[in-house]
Amino acid sequence: MEKTHDLEGPATHEGPLPLDTLVAAETLVRRSSAVPDVAEPAADPERIGRYEVRSVLGEGSMCRVYRAHDKAEGRDVAVKVLKVPFASDPRVVERFRGEAAAGRRLGHPALVELLDVGPDYLVQELVEGESLATRLRRRGPICPEAALPILAAVAEALDYVHARAVVHRDVKPSNVLLVRGGAAKLADFGIARLGWAPITRTGEVIGTPAYMAPEQLSHGVAHAPSDLYSLAVVTQETLTGVRPFRRPSLGAFLQSIVADEPPRASAVNPALPAAVDLVLAKALAKDPGKRYPDGRAFVAALQGVFVPGPQTGISQPAR
């Protein structure tokens, strides 16, 4: 079986990645994605601020998320805490505070709500359900009728944050939460950037490589069209069960994102109509200016393929 590199973990890089040096990025991404070998505390805390810890919900390379009870409000919440190895890292702390800054500016039904901020933790609404990534692993591709409300909610959330000069920069299935009852919410603004200034000022490339837009890899630029490209990657994976680009080595994988045309979704999943290929080709265009202008336009084009009759735009799924 051919070995492929999915690059699901986050990566950072000092200095933009020119097209002719992308192959050399293999060592770079592996090094920056590694978790420091530092021992965690023997036991999880019983309390975090005023919140009584009930259980561990999950964890990533930098944070652990707890289910906790807020006695003052009479509800369970999700508390996201920086792990010990990273709590003293200024760059990580800056990103963590950036998530808090972004969250305080935002309020939308398709976004996970930020409830409270502590010195090294964030408190968010507890979303009962599973991530889109878990759903895809568990059951494979999702039929268009079920996928469209999910994609519409994420697109609406992105249009909302983009209108407020916030770029998410890490749109991927694990950051799309499927709420019991049918709604979908976009989570994790840990690497969001406030404002429209290109990130090449610091030469920083941050994100999950498998979902990053070509301009993020080749020029270190992340803006609204980059988020929409990531949504298109998520869309193709949702409808087919696999991401557009899969190559036998990491260098070839990164090079492919920047230079190659994605495979047709209908060739991967023959149940899809050929018309969806044109929509995804536009959404995955290498040139950001050739993509759909916003999430609403992208989802309207998808609806035009899958839903007969006049389109009325996108909206959050019924609760």
Q: Tell me the mean pLDDT in the region 20-42.
A: 39
Q: How far is it between the farthest Cα atoms of the chain?
A: 59
Domain boundaries, the chain: 47-125, 129-306
**Would you tell me which CATH number, out of the four given (3.30.465.10, 3.30.230.10, 1.10.510.10, 3.30.43.10), belongs to the domain 129-306?**
1.10.510.10
Other Cβ atoms closer than 10 A to 145: 9
Q: Is residue 16 very low, low, confident or very high in pLDDT (cuts 50, 70, 90)?
A: very low
Share above pLDDT 70 across residues of the chain, in percent, rounded to a whole number: 77
Q: Which residues are catalytic?
A: 170
Burial 31-44 (b: 16+ CB within 10 A, else e): ebbeeeeeeeeeee
Is 245 in contact with 257 (CB distance < 8 Å)? yes
Q: At 70, list the tokens.
A: 């807020």
Q: Which residue has the higher pLDDT, 127 or 90?
A: 127
Low-confidence winner among 25-29, 135-139, 235-239, 282-286 (lowest mean pLDDT): 25-29
Q: Tell me the mean pLDDT in the region 178-203.
A: 64
Architecture of domain 47-125 in CATH? 2-Layer Sandwich (3.30)
Residue 32's pLDDT is what?
Answer: 38
Token pair 């200024």 in the structure block, residue: 90
From residue 269, alpha-carbon distances to 57, 62, 140 in Å are 33, 36, 11
Predicted TM-score of the model (pTM) = 0.79
Residue 227's pLDDT is what?
Answer: 96
| Rounded-to-integer distance, Cα 100 and Cα 115, Å | 10
- pLDDT tens digit string along 26-36? 333 333 344 44
Q: Is residue 310 very low, low, confident or very high in pLDDT (cuts 50, 70, 90)?
A: low
pLDDT at 226 over 60: yes
pLDDT at 96 over 90: no
Radius of gyration, alpha carbons of the chain? 19
